């Protein structure tokens, strides 16, 4: 070995360092300057909070097929037009319509005439209770396995009470949700197999309070005449019911709900775009879902994601950035109970052969952004991860591989996109409000919302600049 070899070794070490620094030679001071401009603009002269104020306080809840949903379509379309986007249009989509009807009512009867109120709400998509309500005995279970073990003998004619809590010690609350939400989604169809008369599900919340949390449920392939009513009970109510059951196993649970499924109705995705200067036929999508559940005003889920997506386009224009790709903001309709908007968007994109470079969704609440979750190949992710350093000054530099968003998922499933991402806000408070009457505007902090919008804009900018590199 000679001196030449030492040079080679040093060169090899140099290459290794370059490699492990994740291609970071690509991003530069200009990128850092642009992202700083974006954050300054969002925090000093942002519009997202004002838009959310209107959406939440002037329009309110926006369940698919409701008046609120249609008002929100009109409003966001108008706001896009006011932004002076190059193109704004409505993409028609038929959506399911389910209405809650008169407010639910429920009580626990420990002996004739001795009752206490329980806070419940019908699960989205549930059938109503029989005329006059349903009153019967309750069987508490923590899992579908437990349900099977009890079998028809113990279940038939009774109400099944699913009471497995979300796990407190999971740091990412989305994981705690994932570990419990099966009870809500499939609880009724599973209980039906053993002849249950109805189901009551512990609310998907990490907070101990009196708010029942609704959300989508499915009867699977249960025949119409076998469908049983399903409701959520507040966490305080669930604890009370469980404790009371231990003392009085024969207590009766009464509930009355008046919800109803209607034929599909016409609705829309709202789309606005800035035409790309170099690749007008290649698309970058940023979006949230415009529909919400009907109990609160859907500020965190997902008014926040919608106004942040609008703000991305506004901020790009505000700093005078002319994108190379066409950048679309999409207000998806019907994420909560059908995903019709997301599916429609992807189907149309495929039909038209629209090449999609990147899609980003914000649907985890308007809280302090911690980073992004990317759904892409390892090699693409390695390169994207080298951008983390640009987000360090904003404490939004946690880039991980993982899921993206429900509404943009169909773009991946239909094979027309290689890079998707979801904004990852702080998750600790999300399930305190999710799908409940307290998901309201006052729970959103202006700065947290604006920082999320700015972080999203930063990623869209970088994807516009470097996204064409992601070919696998």
Q: Which residues bind a second copy (CB under 8 A)?
A: 1-3, 5-6, 9, 13, 39-40, 43-44, 168-169, 171, 173, 206-207, 368, 370, 393-395, 398, 426, 428-429, 432, 445-448, 451
Q: End-to-end distance of the chain based on CA atoms, in angstroms? A: 40
Site of tokens 């970088």: 462
Min CB(43)–a second copy separation in Å: 4
Q: Is the peptide bond before 64 cis (omega within 30 degrees of 0)?
A: no
Q: Decide if 218 contacts 189 (C-beta within 8 A).
A: yes
Report the C-alpha gap between 280 and 291 in whole angstroms: 29
Specify the residue, 189 or 205, whose C-beta has the smaller distance to a second copy. 205
The set of catalytic residues is: 335
Residue closer to a second copy, measured from CB, 35 or 188: 35
Beta carbon nearer to a second copy, 53 or 348: 53
Cβ at position 138, least distance to a second copy in Å: 26
Let me know: does 176 contact 431? Beta carbons within 8 Å: yes
Query: How many Å is the Cα radius of gyration of the chain?
Result: 25
Q: How far is the CB of 79 from a second copy (least distance, A)?
A: 21
Residue with smaller CB distance to a second copy, 145 or 392: 392
On the 0-12 / 13-18 / 19+ scale of CB atoms within 10 A, 402 is: middle
User: Which pairing describes strands 134-141 and 252-256: parallel, antiparallel, or unpaired?
Assistant: antiparallel
CB of 263 to a second copy, least distance (A): 42
DSSP line for 204-216 = S-SS-SS-----B
- How near is the Cβ of 432 to a second copy at its closest, in Å? 7
Cβ distance to a second copy smaller for residue 3 or 225: 3
CB-nearer residue toward a second copy: 70 or 432: 432
DSSP 361: E
The two three-digit tokens of residue 281, written as one number: 């036929």
For residues 228 and 282, give the distance between their C-alpha atoms in angstroms, rounded to a whole number. 47
Beta pairing, strands 114-117 & 105-111:
antiparallel
Question: How many Å apart are CA 413 and CA 342, to the nearest integer?
Answer: 11
**Between residues 347 and 428, which has the closer beta carbon with respect to a second copy?**
428
DSSP conformation letters of 373-428: EEES-HHHHHHHHTTHHHHGGGT--EEEES---TTTHHHHHTT--S-EEEEEE--T
Minimum distance from residue 364 beta carbon to a second copy (Å):
14
| Nearest distance in Å: CB 400, a second copy | 11
């Amino acid at each position: 070995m000679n001196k030449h070899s030492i040079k080679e070794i040093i060169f090899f070490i140099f290459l290794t360092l370059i490699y492990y620094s994740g291609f970071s030679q690509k991003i530069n001071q200009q990128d850092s300057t642009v992202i700083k401009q974006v954050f300054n603009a969002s925090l000093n002269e942002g519009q997202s909070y004002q838009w959310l104020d209107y959406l939440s306080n002037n329009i309110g809840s926006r369940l698919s097929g409701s008046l609120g949903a249609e008002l929100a379509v009109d409003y966001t379309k108008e706001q896009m037009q006011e932004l002076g986007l190059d193109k704004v249009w409505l993409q028609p989509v038929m959506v399911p319509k389910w209405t809650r009807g008169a407010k639910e009512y429920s009580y626990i009867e420990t002996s004739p005439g001795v009752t206490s109120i329980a806070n419940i709400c019908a699960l989205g998509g549930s059938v109503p209770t029989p005329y006059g309500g349903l009153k019967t005995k309750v069987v508490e279970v923590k899992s579908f396995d437990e349900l099977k073990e009890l079998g028809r003998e113990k279940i038939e004619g009774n109400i099944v009470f699913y009471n497995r809590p979300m796990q407190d010690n999971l740091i990412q609350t989305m994981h705690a949700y994932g570990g419990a939400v099966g009870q809500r989604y499939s609880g009724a169809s599973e209980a039906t197999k053993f002849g249950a008369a109805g189901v009551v599900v512990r609310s998907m919340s990490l907070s101990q309070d009196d708010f029942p949390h609704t959300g989508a449920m499915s009867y699977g392939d249960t025949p119409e005449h076998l469908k049983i009513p399903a409701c959520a009970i507040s966490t305080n109510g669930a604890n009370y019911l469980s404790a009371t059951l231990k003392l009085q196993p024969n207590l009766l649970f009464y509930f009355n709900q008046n919800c109803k499924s209607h034929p599909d109705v016409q609705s829309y995705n709202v789309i606005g775009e800035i035409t790309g200067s170099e690749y007008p036929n290649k698309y970058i999508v940023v979006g949230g879902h415009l529909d919400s559940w009907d109990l609160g005003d859907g500020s965190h889920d997902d008014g926040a994601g919608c106004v942040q997506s609008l703000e991305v386009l506004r901020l790009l224009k505000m700093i005078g950035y002319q994108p190379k790709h066409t950048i679309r903001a999409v207000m998806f309709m019907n994420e909560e109970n059908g995903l019709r908007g997301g599916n429609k968007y992807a189907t149309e994109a495929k039909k038209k052969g629209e090449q999609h470079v990147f899609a980003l969704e914000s649907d985890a609440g308007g809280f302090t952004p911690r980073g992004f979750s990317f759904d892409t190949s390892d090699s693409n992710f390695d390169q994207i991860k080298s951008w983390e350093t640009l987000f360090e000054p904003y404490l939004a530099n946690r880039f991980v591989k993982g899921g993206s968003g429900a509404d943009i998922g169909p773009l991946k499933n239909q094979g027309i996109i290689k890079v998707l991402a979801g904004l990852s806000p702080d998750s600790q408070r999300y399930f305190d409000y999710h799908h409940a009457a307290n998901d309201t505007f006052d729970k959103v902090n202006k700065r947290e919302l604006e920082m999320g919008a700015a972080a999203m804009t930063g990623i869209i900018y970088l994807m516009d600049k470097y996204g064409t590199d992601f070919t696998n």
